[in-house]
Structure 1
Amino acid sequence: MVLPGPGVIRLDPQSTTGAFEPPVQPPPFPLPCRRFSTGSPQETRPTQTNLEVRRQAVGVPVEQAALHGVPFAFGAPFAFFSLRDIPISMATILVLNCGSSTIKFQLLDMPAGRRLLKGAIEKIGQQESKGRISYDASLEPFRRFSSPQEEHPSSKGSPPSLEESLPAISYADAFDWLFAHLPPTLPLDAIGHRVVHGGPYFNQTVRITQEVVEHIQACSSLAPLHNPIQLEGIRLCKTHHGEIPQFASFDTAFHRDKPEVHRIFALPRQLCTQFGYEKYGFHGASHRYVARRAAALLQRPLEELRLISCHLGGGSSITAIHRGKALDTTATYGTCTGMPMGSRSGDIDVAVILDLILQQGYSPQEVSDILYNQSGLFGISGISSDMAELERLEQAGHEGAHLAREYYVYMIKKFIGAFAALLEGVDAIIFTGGIGEKDHDIRERVCRSLGWLGARIDLTKNRGAQGETPISTTDSRVTLLVIPTDEELEIALEITEALENI
């Protein structure tokens, strides 16, 4: 559906039809939403009923509609959205992505998907550690700064921001800083956590209970760089705000509905059943988000599309998506499989691992450290796990950096070819994640080899790609897309749905 210009579809209160209207001013901040604490009526903010929503005219932002696969034109700011698809309640959700040395966070107004603030605390435990936040302009009256000089005066049209040096800050103190800089008058409805591995236990976002914590702990050996620190984030949030419900969104959940033949290993079935060995998959929120965005950008229903999503970053995985569902993926049981990553090996012949242990005298823990911390781009290059740095070194003639980037491209092409065969054709290939979004040279090297598939890259578009954009030629049978991922928004949408069931 192509709209005549900026504006909204104004819905008829008595039906699910609507008509186009020009832009309207956003509602005043903050929006009413539920507050969870002890559960007493006095501590609960007003909630709109289904009838009340149906009696109101609702303008729906395209970001929300597109996430549900509603087609719209490139650049169109709003799209039609059925009343029955609009979540009833509004909620303010804090989404956290906890890493070993970095905490990324966003505060989102849902279901509109409005980002109230976005920030990160980086290099935790190091002298160079710092915290930074950018605020929505409407939040300006509610900001807290540690000291006036730490406020960055915003240039015209840019959001106000904060950056503060936090030398050698601990993980617990980082959470103190985070919560101290949230808008003090804006109650939180929920806190969401990205959790990398949910094993066989979870196929959707769930409210965190003690049982959920125990299941996450049980999967920690499969994601040793992620699950333990994400559990620490859950614990610290509970310490700060035990009255606010917390939710876990699992990277593995998107992949739980893969066909059985794509989930199993060729091992004795008794062993697989006894120990839970199967191909799980990762980066689920990212793959789901960019798939929905691709459908919107292509103006086609997600249920009709064959997509290959390449999430390329510090952690990388490629997923074949058929009719909106994961069909197969590169990362399988543990987080060091599939694509080579910063310091993780990716796929490797198991005989090498057996030889290291049985013949060369390495302990299982030493081999684990090699696979997770000494391999991948770092292992091949011998100098760095950072792809941007490897690009600079390659241009300067560093042989190891060149070999690492070439191997990375080789593996992407290998998996795209395999998944194209599995999907029996491809409608679009998506590049996302830090490397997928920013490294035009990697995209060019990959796509130049895909002519046999009907994919043709436009070199000018590719080198100038910013934000969501096609980088294929007009005659390309396969659309090549760069789509910045927004895992936090995807997680917030999942939590919004879960809140409705509480």
Structure 2
Amino acid sequence: MLVINCGSSSLKYTFFNTEDMENSVDGQVDRIGTAVPMGLEYNAGKTEIERELEPGTHKDAFDAIIQILTSKEFGIISSPQEITAVGHRVVHGGDKFSHPTLITDDVLRGIEEVSSLAPLHNPVNLVGIHESMRVFPSAAQVAIFDTAFHQTIPPHAYLYGLPYEYYEKKRIRRYGFHGTSHYYVSLMAADYLKRSYTDLKLITCHLGNGGSVCAIEHGKSVDTSMGMTPAEGIIMGTRSGSIDPAVILHLMDSEKMTSGEVNQLINKQSGLLGLSGISNDMRDIEHAVKQGKNRAVLAYKTFCYSIKKYIGAYSATLGNVDALIFTGGIGLYNSFAREEVCKGLGALGMFIDQEKSKDLNGAKKVVDIATVDSPVRILVIPTNEELMIARETLSVICAD
């Protein structure tokens, strides 16, 4: 089985042997479609390879992946025919797709129809699917949607306060993203807590360059911070998160900005990068904070405060919480941010053990960083979206 995450300039892949799901190979091809050479990464246990390739397209990237997967020296398969299933990450499924789905011509048309909701993501996801169908014509192709997990959110939580016909005709509503990650870490939390998944009330925080918070009740997403697009919600690496929509109108009028310029502003120039003027990487922000740089301190505190607000809101939504979960690059590696987010959450029964948190710089398994007597457990859980996509792909194939 192969799991594919196709971006505009990168193609990430993971190979799974379904007889031994831990025996996997992963890597990526980056700088696709640029004037500079593409870069290939291939990681198979102790074998780590980096190669420079000629500048090329997604087609060339797929061909390079097949070449190394089947190479006599490093390969793990003898031919592309050995791949019998491919799971594709698709960012936006709109409200058409609420489950992992076997890809057919109708499904391809459906993904294309909702591409207007994710014009930066879905079209290139489709490129990956078409190239995969070319390279693996006999394999089952399955789409796993970032939005699918959140299709259980009730209307009162996903509707915006716009005239209802905009939802009816244009499907403008909250969809949410990072669904595969939120689902995976919530399942791992249930396993760790030795509780039935459907008994738990959880708040999951996926914190990376992109980030979102999710309220999960009895195994179902009931609210999430991202909206119709990934721009809504908490402050992120380069995304603004939620802002007054009139700010956009003001900028368009006063600065004569086009919609394209505004899109670039809120998605690529804002967030930690825009506030700090230093970087979109929390590691750089933390270093600058320790040097006493005021804008870095401001960016760090604003970022953490935006997360804290969602945790408070979702605690009210759920009524009570069994566990607060951190995942993603920042959630796993940045104790600095975890501790700032958790300050003042004692009123909600969330007490972080700062020494445990400080000692934790990454985790390969679930780690509890709450104090012994904390009513709510605070868990750090490494996500594994590729493994979750593989499992979901298998479930579709077995059901079919």
Using the size of structure 2 for normalisation, the TM-score is: 0.91
Deviation track 1:95-130 (CA, whole Å, cap 9, x = no partner) reads 112223332221123376334212223444475853
Task: Name the SS of the counterpart of 1:181 in structure 2.
Answer: helix
Q: Does 1:333 find its partner at 2:231?
A: no
Q: Contact between 1:111 and 1:493, CA under 8 Å: does it hold in 2? A: no
C-alpha separation between the residues in 2 aligned to 1:293 and 1:345?
30
Q: Given the alignment, which residue of 309, 316, 340 partners 2:204? A: 309
3-state SS, counterpart of residue 113 of structure 1: strand
For residues 334 and 313 of structure 1, the distance between their equivalents in structure 2, rounded to whole angstroms, comes to 16
Counterpart of 2:27 (choices 86, 110, 119) is 119
Residue 174 of structure 2 aligns to which amino acid in structure 1? K
Q: Distance in 2 between matches of 1:486 and 1:372?
A: 25
CA distance in 2, matches of 1:111, 1:499: 15
TM superposition shift of 1:184:
2.8
| Counterpart pick for 1:420 among 315, 332, 355 | 315
- The aligned counterpart of 2:17 is 109
User: What 5-or-longer segments of structure 2 have no aligned partner?
Assistant: 70-75
Q: Distance in 2 between matches of 1:121 and 1:397?
A: 38
Find the residue that maps to 2:64 and give its secondary structure. helix
- Contact 1:110 1:493 (C-alpha < 8 Å) held by counterparts: no
Alignment of 1:300-449 (within 5 A): 300-449=195-344
Matches of 2:53 and 2:236 in 1, distance apart? 29
SS of equivalent residue, structure 1 residue 418: helix
Q: Would you say the 8 A contact 1:306–1:323 is kept in 2?
A: yes
Residue 77 of structure 2 corresponds to residue 184 of structure 1? yes
What's the CA shift string for 1:264-293, capped at 9, x where partnerless? 112211221011111111111100000000
CA pair 285-269 structure 1, distance change in 2 beyond 3 A: same
Q: How does 1:2-13 map to 2 (within 5 A)?
A: none
2:384 matched residue in structure 1: 486
Q: Distance in 1 between matches of 2:202 and 2:158?
A: 19
Q: Report what 2:148 is aligned to.
A: 253
Q: Is 2:14–2:24's contact at 8 Å kept on the other side of the alignment? A: yes
Identity of aligned residues (%): 41
> Contact 2:237/2:272 (CA < 8 Å) preserved in 1?
yes
Partner of 2:180: 285
Question: How far apart, in 1, do the equivalents of 2:393 and 2:276 lie?
Answer: 40
Q: CA deviation at 1:451?
A: 1.3
AA at the equivalent of 1:408:
F
1:173 to 60, 66, 76: 60
Which letter does structure 1 place at the counterpart of 2:219? G
Instruction: Choose 105-114 or 479-488, whichever is displaced more.
Output: 105-114
Q: CA separation of 1:129/1:440 partners in 2, compared to 1, >3 Å: closer, same or farther?
A: farther
RMSD of the alignment, in Å? 1.9
TM-score, with length taken from structure 1: 0.73
Q: In 2, distance between residues paired with 1:176 and 1:435?
A: 34
- Tell me which moved more, 483-492 or 361-370: 361-370
Number of aligned residue pairs: give it: 388
> Quick one: which amino acid aligns to residue 457 of structure 1?
I
Match of 2:8 among 79, 85, 100: 100
Offset of 1:418 from its aligned partner? 0.4
> Aligned pair in 2 of structure 1 residues 386, 169: CA closer, same or farther (>3 Å)?
farther
Q: Residue type matched to 2:18 in 1?
A: M
Shift of 1:359: 4.8
Q: 1:131 aligns with which of 18, 40, 50?
A: 40
Instruction: Provide the rounded CA distance (Å) in 2 between the counterparts of 1:332 and 1:378.
Output: 21
Match of 1:496 among 367, 379, 394: 394
Deviation at 1:409, TM superposition (A): 0.2
Structure 1's unaligned 5+ residue stretches are 1-92, 137-158
SS at match of 1:307: strand
What SS does the aligned partner of 1:500 have? helix
Q: Distance in 2 between matches of 1:191 and 1:450?
A: 42
Contact 1:342 1:377 in 2 (8 A): yes
Query: In the superposition, relative to structure 1, how do residues 388 and 215 fare at CA in structure 2: closer, same or farther (>3 Å)?
Result: farther
Cα distance in structure 2, aligned partners of 1:166 and 1:94: 22
Partner Cα distance (2:341, 2:259) in 1: 35
- Give how far 1:357 is off: 2.8
Secondary structure of 1:425's counterpart equals coil
Change (3 A) 1:371 1:263: same
- Match of 1:178, as an amino acid? I
Once the two structures are TM-superposed, the CA of residue 378 in structure 1 deviates from its matched residue by: 1.7
Contact (CA 8 Å) 2:83, 2:136: kept in 1 or not? no
Counterpart amino acid of residue 44 in structure 2: Y
